Structure formats: structure tokens, C-alpha cells
Structure 1
């Protein structure tokens, strides 16, 4: 959760409405199968949890406008992580009893206290839902404190009560936020990972009752420290092809090489007190695109769900207030299942989107298509899923032009000699709202047995790219001004065979 002063919000709002607002078309960029609020601003996912057949998504939300401000928790639920029911505002910002300060509800998590051991919910409550969040306190336009608060619900998150003795964890600082809490079964205790942003440290605490917290250890600085750290998550992840699990710590921060915000991760071991990262020779990033941030896994999950499931915010703070969408601003990724792959370079995170089978229909299938020039796919649309297996031959480059309308296009290119996958949105449509938006992002992707496998989720203004089974991922926003939605295959320097390509339209 990135704090912004009230003065900054007002300046951004004024600039946005004076420059961009007249050109916006309502719902033009509303994705079909990525979560968005009915209206107004959202950012970080919060309090993600599975409970009694429902996935809960809480999220940073401004109930009063389409810019950052008045941070509160919005709320939605889903049975399948694809179709969401919007619920009333869950936890609103509030004013102090003396009226002199305002507490915004910054990022945090939720847990289920199954026996109401904390005593927070009324006597007789079997399952008490508890939110642990950062209270960001301001007086006028001056930020004065950040500390960790509790709120609780006895009705599955529909209504909430603030804990009367908040805060439960206060270091007396203005930079201490984003608690991620989970039940650690081996130690029969609650564990919290929380961030000291400017110190580039994750701090770990334990508790028996969610109200009293004891310091365990600190992690960091390590890895990428080019920006402040935010939104930690610590969780166990299965290793592909074995029964083993390793612990993963994710932190939202910056991207050292590309100079924008990103998420990094560390793989290691956790003994109930200390997280020890394994040696890594490079900084590991969750997503190599510009628009995936603050991702966190769902607490708890169905008994048959082995892999953790993460959902992230699709936007970038460098232009978040300026993106040309209305009446909403901000979206969430399609939830991703996580595993680890043991590679010669060490453990690497693998991400695959949850299955869209329930909401899609197959419209185009192509096999063994030799491509030596621009070759159209017999499908046009702006919300679809695409899978392609590409046999890499003697060509120099191969790729797919997405959301193509004349010269307007978003281009995914694989440079075969350098094994580089790049996404070019410089001609994708509206790129003028920010000088930081137009970009070409790239990542190294080694072929697998002479193949490149691509899995694309395209949804109006969102492109999620999963390469080689999700070992490399890029996510970027695009804002086409034309809407032909054509798809075109191409190859340069020789022919390339698309051995299989399937497009599913998403309902």
C-alpha cells in the first residue's frame, strides 16, 4: 500500500480531469473476466481467504471517487475465482473520537479464528473472521502514524466491528505496514509478516490470540532495494515432481534493471521463527511486465487445492491515477496457481492462471501452420484466451500481433537467437496519458525441446502472458482506441511453424 498525501491526490485529480476526462468513454476498457469494481478506484488486494465455499476478495478502495484517496476495504466473493458477487463496503475509513484525525484502512489480511479463541467475536461465535490491517493516520494533510489494527466479523465478512483496544502493534513510526497473517500449524500459532518499507525489511511476529504480538526475527535488506518494500507474503509452495515444499517470501518493491515497480521473491526455509533465503545470483521477479503489483495468496483453500493461489493488482503507481478508464480505475489479475520448479539455476516460481473452462468457448483451432509472412487468425475480439505451441526453426523472430486495428497493435515477439520474449505496447492505442506508459518489456525465455509455448489472457485493456508453462510471466495494460481486435501471426528471417494454436472466446 503506497501512501500519497492529500495534497498530491488533489493535484493528480485536478490534472486528470482537466486533461483526460473529456475523452473517456464509459466501459470502453472494462475487462470481461478480470475483476473490477462497479465504480471508483481500487488498488491492492487485501484479506484474500477461502471460507465455507466462498473466496473472499477485499481490496483497497476509494468509495467516493476514481482516484486514490479515502482508503477503505471493498469486498467481493466468488465460488470459482472467476465470477464475483459485489458486496457493500466492508471496512470504511473512520474519524477519531475527538475529530482531529482520520484513519485510512490500508493493506492487510484476514484469517478465520475457528474457535473464537481471540474472544473478539460475540460469545457463541464458531468462526470469527478477523481482519488485520494497517491504520494510516492523518491529521489534516499530514500523515502522523502507521500501525496494525484489528477488526472482526461474525457474519462471514458482511459487517465489521473495530477492536476497541487498537492498535495491537505499534512501533511509533510512520512507515510500518501491510501485515500478512496466517495460521502456522506446526507451532499452533498465528504468524505475521509485516514491512518496514524504508529499511527494506520484512519483520516476523507470532501470537496466540491475534491481539498480543511477539517479535521473532527480521529479514533483509536483500535483493532489490531500489524502491521501498511493501505487501509481504510468506507461504509454503510445492516443488514440481516431488512431495517437497519450500517457503517463498514475496515483497512488492522495484525492478532494478527496468526502473519501475515490481514484485520480487525469495525461496528458502522457515523454521517457525526465521526465514532463511537460499543463495541466489540474481534478483527474482514475480512478473516481468509493468502492471502486476501487491500480489498475495489466498489464506486457506479447498482441501483438494494443493497449490497456493495468488491474485495481484494490475496497474503501476507511476501512472495509476491517469489510466483512461471510467467509471472504475484498477483491476485484478486472473488468480494464479503457484509452484516451484527446480532448475539448474535454482528454484524458480511457476505461475499458471486458474482454468477459465467454465466461462469460455472454443472458436478457432489451427495446427501445423507454416508462417513466413503476416498471417491472420480467423478470430476477432478483445476478450479471449490463446494458447500456442511454436516450433522454432531457422527464423530470426516470430510473434503475435494482438488487438490489431490497422497500425494500432500490441506486439509479442520472440527473438530466437537471443531467446528474448518482448511485449511492445508503443503502438497499442492511447499511450499519451503518461510519459512512463509507452514501453517495450522483455525477458529471457529459453526454449523447451525446440518449442516456445505461450498462454495469453487478453481482456479489453489487459494482456497477461505466460511463457513455457508459466516459468516467465509478463502483465501489461493496453488501451486501444480502435476495436477491430484482430490477431496476426508473423515470422521474420525464415518460416516458423505454429504446431498448435487455439483461441477461446471468454463469455
Structure 2
């Protein structure tokens, strides 16, 4: 390789840190989650453990605290708890005024056999593979040409264990275009994940065709020349785009003779049900070095109307809502179901038949309430199709029993109608009505509804295996360089829906806690389990809190427990809901003295779900979708015990349920004085309650 065609990056002027002391005590600054010292951060990149050091590279803007000038930031650690900021590893070419190439997401491997030829027998190179994004058409030093906004795959190498990097300009990009049949996707071809496959003695790269929901598999002997082998997808959740994919093996139940592979896939938007924006799904299957094959029970059909459904209202009859037996107020007086799929410039999809409720009558200025005829709840579920705006309480469908809203649902800022359903078993035998509410006059201020039915089967949105059911877990990546049994993931703890507006300064975004991954058989299915690595003990403060109750009475109780950063484990017995009741149990955390600020973490005994309610968690007004309640499925253990572990930091909660088969991650932005904690039990008492907690200190000190 001619030296004139290589570019050795110069770092002295690009250091993340400066000479003055940094306290890391700014408002909302996480104390044990990684954050950059300043500026914008998103996806973790190039996670690798090498020679006793954990390296975290990440998408970074060296010029500001919103997305832009994508470069690779860098930090190192000996324990994944205490991180040291390093100089920028790969800085956008031409930064700041004439950027010709940005460095998008990718991975780093240790080329121990020096297959690339970048190192020697005595010094193994680290090799990074990343997506080059070209904001302008240009001819490259390699002689290759790229078009405006092209995404292609390039490599760089380091001969000093990741501290400085040289881009392989003699041949970059090493994968210039996607396969010819996907030539039109050249601007949506990104995020390579590279690993060594022992059985075939080859390097493997997994790359996303983002808009087509396909993962392309490539192989190489030297990290320079790549062959396209196969593709995987689309399957399961396919709203938005697929990004940041990876494949990795895990033993099932610790049995090394039974190894399965996991495909980990970022999705934006179209995250878990009840969230808006980003999410991460996984698929369990097999991989032979060239092709990933999903297990049959990991591919789910598109949702349909349950076979045992009894239609309550399908809105197919011509006439007004009053003609259909519904009470109409506001702009809905004299109006009827829509007979056409157009909302302004957007097409509504997913409705059943020819007509449906569309409150976009006079644009988003339309307001009013539609109330159904009264009915007796006779079956376990009420199912319906819903779309439109995500505005809890303002554009929504409600179930009311005795005049009280007991269930509610809203759209996802999407004109597509999707299935949702309520577990109403606690209200069987009671009279109820359904409300369709539109009280918003702008900003996705409408709701679309169709085919309301009663069933003993729950109709769901497109089913997927979700890594995390919260809104703030995206672009997850695991460390190369660790044994398979020590597979450790880190994710971007933010969401593209509002990530650039969160109220932090001078930095934006944090990473999740590192999580150990394993596969366990739960309810006869191979399930991905996540557990926080045991890295917080060194940060625990001396005073620990522990208490138990034979029974916690209905209501709230103040706890002699407070703090902005805590590690809490809560266990309690499952209980059966009484008729007409919907009992819950859990903790109120980061609460102010007047309770106007609080985050509720708990368990719903009727639906068997964990939940995090951040609707009053502090500063929530920067995005209309931020104040919300998020749910995650969790069955009690075989002994009827529910176990919840909660990691609280200055601006986040991460909740792990059961053995770790369920997790839910959410950012919060409470006031500094919102430190109180309470325990609550609704609609009855909760038995056999135990709580243990530790306050967590700063990893920066």
C-alpha cells in the first residue's frame, strides 16, 4: 500500500477532554452510565475487549450537541464502570467546514492471525469496519467513485491497540455498493458487524439494507475482499428501518452442546408496542457461516382478527355515528364513518372493510367525543384497530366502567391502523362503554379506529422478540474479544423521536448499563435473558436498605429510602384480581415532597405486566410523546413470586423482571430534590413483600 494513499489520523487537536477538571455533576448527568464529556453521542460502535482493556467507540459529533459531523468517539475502561475519555478515533474528513466523509456505525475486531496484512506476527492489528457516508459525489483516492449521499463499507486499522487509526484509503470503500439487485438501495446500506467464524475460518460481516428490512451476509479471508453470501429478512417487526444488526452464538441453558445464534436488529421507528420511535428486536436461529436461519417459533405471522371474535362495531353501515347507536359531541354531530383512505396528504392503511372512524374531518381542527352504546363485558379481551396521533388522553380510545377510564390506547403518530387489545377479564359481568376521543387541534391531532370486537384471544400488533420494552434502548452491540459465555451488550439509551431535544447540557445521550446476555428456556421457549453486569458493588454506599412485610396494605407508604442513584430489588407474591378491580403494586421513585414529580415502577396483576410511568417524572414537555406509561410482559416465577430489579440513575431507570427475560429502559429528568421513595398497593393488599436497596455513588470520582 503506497503511503501517499493512506491517511493517518492526527488526534492532538481532537481530544474529547480538556485540561481543566471535570466534575460530572451537571443536572441530569448519569453517575454510573457512560456519557461523553460534552456534545452529541448515539450508537455504540466497535466494542472490543483487548489486552485487558474495554474499548467503547461511539457515534459522536465533535462540533455540537445534536446529530452531525459523525465521527467515532472513544473511551477505555478496565471494568466497564470507570471510563476514561480518549481522543476522537475517526474524525469526519474535512471537519468542520468542508466535510467529505462521515464515519457511521460499525465494529472493531482483533486480527490475531494478521489476515489483513496490516500488522505483523508480533503485533496484531485492530481493524475497524464502518459505514462511510459521503455527503457529496466525489472521486476517492482509491480510484472509486461515489454518488451524493452514498453509504458504503470501509476499513481502518490500528497498530497501537486502538489509540490511533489509519484509514485504508488505497482501497476504501472495500464494499462499494450493495448487490446489483439492490442497486437502488445504495443510500440505505449500512452498519457492518464483523466477527470471526471458527468453523469456516472466515470473517463474516452482517450489513443492513435498512429500508428493505434485509440483513446481507458477506465473508472474507482478509477483511479487504468480501463476497456476498446470503440475506435474512424481512421478519417480524418491519416498521421504520432496520439498523445496527449483529449475529452472535449463545449456549442454551449453559449447555455448550446446544448452541443457537441470535440476530440482534435495531428498528426505527416501530419499536415495542406502546412506544414511539426506536427499539431493538432479536431472532433466535442457526448460522452456518454463510446463512442465518430463524427458528420456526421465532417467526411470527402478521396479526389478524382472532377467530373467536364477536364484532361489536365495524363501522361498515352507511349513515351517521348516531345511526350506528353512538352518542356524538362536538364536530362529530351529524358526521359518520370515513369512506376513503386519505388524510390530507397521507394515506391511511390497515383498516378493515370500506369504512372506519377517522377524526380528521376538518383536518386536525376537528374535536369531539364518540361514545358507544352500553354493553356488558362478557369476554376476556376487547380488540380493535387504531392509528393516528400519539396523544394519551387527547386522541385515544377509552374503556369506561362506572364512569371511570379503566383502559386506554392511542395511535403511534402513524396513519397505519394496527391491532391492539385490552385484557378486561377483571371487568367481566360489568357494564361499560367505549369512547373515541379527539380533543387536540394540531400536531397529529386525530385518531383512526376500526373493527372493535370481543374475544377470548388477544389481538396484538406485529409480534416480535423485543430486547427491551422501553423507549430508550437502541442500536445494541456486544463486545468482540470476550468468550461466548461472557457476551455483554451495551445500547444507546435514547430515542430518535426526541433524542436531540432531551434537556441535558453540555452533552446529549448516555449508554445503557452493560448487560450479560444468555439464552434460557422459559415457558418452553428459548429466550434471551439480560442481567446487568456485577459492576456496581464498588460504587455502593455503606448504608443499605432492607425491609420485608407479610402484607402491604392498600395505599401508599413512605419509605426510609431516598436517592438519585440506586440499585433496588423488589419481590412479592402474585395475586388474583377481584371482580371489577385492576390491582397494581410497586414503587414510586425520584418523587418530590409534593409528589408532583414521580416515576412509578410497578406490576399489573391483571395483565401480568411490568410498567414504568414517567408521565410526571419531571421535565417532560420537550416532546409530546415523552410523558407516557410503558409496559412489558412478565409472568410470575414457578413459586408465584414476582421479582423486579430497578437501576435508578440521575436521569434514567432500567427495570429487569424475573430472571432477566424482560427489561424496560426509560429516561427521566426529575429535579435534584426529587429523591423520595414510596411503596404502593392498589385494589387490595400485596403479600410477602421484600425490598433491598443500595445507594450508588459516582463512577467519575
TM-score past 0.5 threshold:
yes
Residue 492 of structure 1: how far off its partner (Å): 1.2
Q: C-alpha deviations, 1:286-333, integer Å up to 9, x for none?
A: 1000000000110121x5x72310000000001010000011100000
Equivalent position of 1:478 in the other structure: 668
CA distance in 2, matches of 1:295, 1:90: 20
CA distance in 2, matches of 1:113, 1:392: 51
CA distance in 2, matches of 1:120, 1:146: 24
Residue 397 of structure 1: how far off its partner (Å): 1.5
CA distance in 2, matches of 1:360, 1:26: 18
CA distance in 1, matches of 2:609, 2:42: 30
Q: Any conservation in 2 of the 1:429–1:482 contact (CA below 8 Å)?
A: no
CA RMSD of aligned residues (A): 2.0
CA distance in 1, matches of 2:152, 2:657: 40
Q: Secondary structure at the match of 2:225?
A: coil
Q: C-alpha deviations, 1:384-425, integer Å up to 9, x for none?
A: 111111123457211111111122100113111221222111
Moved more, 46-55 or 276-285: 276-285
Equivalent position of 1:257 in the other structure: 273
CA distance in 2, matches of 1:493, 1:344: 29
Equivalent position of 2:437 in the other structure: none
Q: 1:109-128 to 2 correspondence within 5 Å? A: 109-121=107-119, 123=120, 126-128=123-125
Moved more, 381-390 or 362-371: 362-371
Q: Any conservation in 1 of the 2:69–2:99 contact (CA below 8 Å)?
A: no
Match of 1:314 among 489, 493, 504: 493
Equivalent position of 2:173 in the other structure: 167
Equivalent position of 1:5 in the other structure: none
CA distance in 1, matches of 2:281, 2:696: 31
Residue 432 of structure 1: how far off its partner (Å): 0.3
Equivalent position of 2:455 in the other structure: none
Q: C-alpha deviations, 1:228-268, integer Å up to 9, x for none?
A: 10000100012125332210001101326334321111000
Q: C-alpha deviations, 1:347-406, integer Å up to 9, x for none?
A: 211100001222223521112353213122212111111111112345721111111112
Q: C-alpha deviations, 1:449-499, integer Å up to 9, x for none?
A: 211101111001010000002111000000013523111111112211353
CA distance in 1, matches of 2:488, 2:501: 29
Q: Any conservation in 1 of the 2:41–2:509 contact (CA below 8 Å)?
A: yes
CA distance in 2, matches of 1:294, 1:307: 19
Q: 1:85-96 to 2 correspondence within 5 Å? A: 85-95=84-94
Equivalent position of 1:248 in the other structure: 262
CA distance in 2, matches of 1:245, 1:116: 28
Equivalent position of 1:44 in the other structure: 43
Q: Is residue 290 of structure 1 aligned with residue 471 of structure 2?
A: yes
CA distance in 2, matches of 1:469, 1:240: 12
Equivalent position of 1:501 in the other structure: 691
Equivalent position of 2:587 in the other structure: 400
Residue 100 of structure 1: how far off its partner (Å): 7.5
Q: C-alpha deviations, 1:15-51, integer Å up to 9, x for none?
A: xxxxxxxxxx981000100000111110000000110
CA distance in 2, matches of 1:420, 1:344: 16
CA distance in 2, matches of 1:241, 1:491: 37
Residue 120 of structure 1: how far off its partner (Å): 2.1
Q: C-alpha deviations, 1:183-203, integer Å up to 9, x for none?
A: 111111110001000111000
Q: Secondary structure at the match of 2:29?
A: coil
Q: Secondary structure at the match of 1:37?
A: coil
Match of 1:180 among 168, 171, 193: 193
Closer/same/farther in 2, CA of residues 256 and 288 from structure 1, 3 Å limit: closer
Q: Any conservation in 2 of the 1:233–1:296 contact (CA below 8 Å)?
A: yes
CA distance in 2, matches of 1:378, 1:347: 40
Q: Any conservation in 2 of the 1:26–1:327 contact (CA below 8 Å)?
A: no
Q: Is residue 137 of structure 1 aligned with residue 134 of structure 2?
A: yes
Structure 1: segments with no counterpart, 5+ residues: 1-24
CA distance in 2, matches of 1:209, 1:261: 34
Q: Is residue 428 of structure 1 aligned with residue 441 of structure 2?
A: no
Match of 2:547 among 366, 380, 388: 366
CA distance in 2, matches of 1:74, 1:483: 33
Q: Secondary structure at the match of 1:469?
A: coil
Residue 500 of structure 1: how far off its partner (Å): 2.2
Equivalent position of 1:218 in the other structure: 231
Q: Any conservation in 1 of the 2:597–2:674 contact (CA below 8 Å)?
A: no
CA distance in 2, matches of 1:125, 1:350: 39
Match of 1:386 among 563, 568, 575: 568
CA distance in 1, matches of 2:254, 2:209: 36
Structure with bigger gyration radius: 2
Q: Any conservation in 2 of the 1:388–1:498 contact (CA below 8 Å)?
A: no
Residue 343 of structure 1: how far off its partner (Å): 3.0
Residue 58 of structure 1: how far off its partner (Å): 0.2
Match of 1:375 among 551, 557, 571: 557
CA distance in 1, matches of 2:689, 2:651: 28
Closer/same/farther in 2, CA of residues 479 and 143 from structure 1, 3 Å limit: farther
CA distance in 2, matches of 1:100, 1:182: 34
CA distance in 1, matches of 2:94, 2:83: 31
Aligned residue-pair number: 477
Q: Secondary structure at the match of 2:199?
A: helix
Residue 436 of structure 1: how far off its partner (Å): 1.7
Q: Secondary structure at the match of 2:235?
A: coil
Q: Any conservation in 2 of the 1:390–1:496 contact (CA below 8 Å)?
A: yes
Q: Any conservation in 1 of the 2:609–2:631 contact (CA below 8 Å)?
A: yes
Q: Any conservation in 2 of the 1:147–1:177 contact (CA below 8 Å)?
A: yes
Equivalent position of 1:8 in the other structure: none
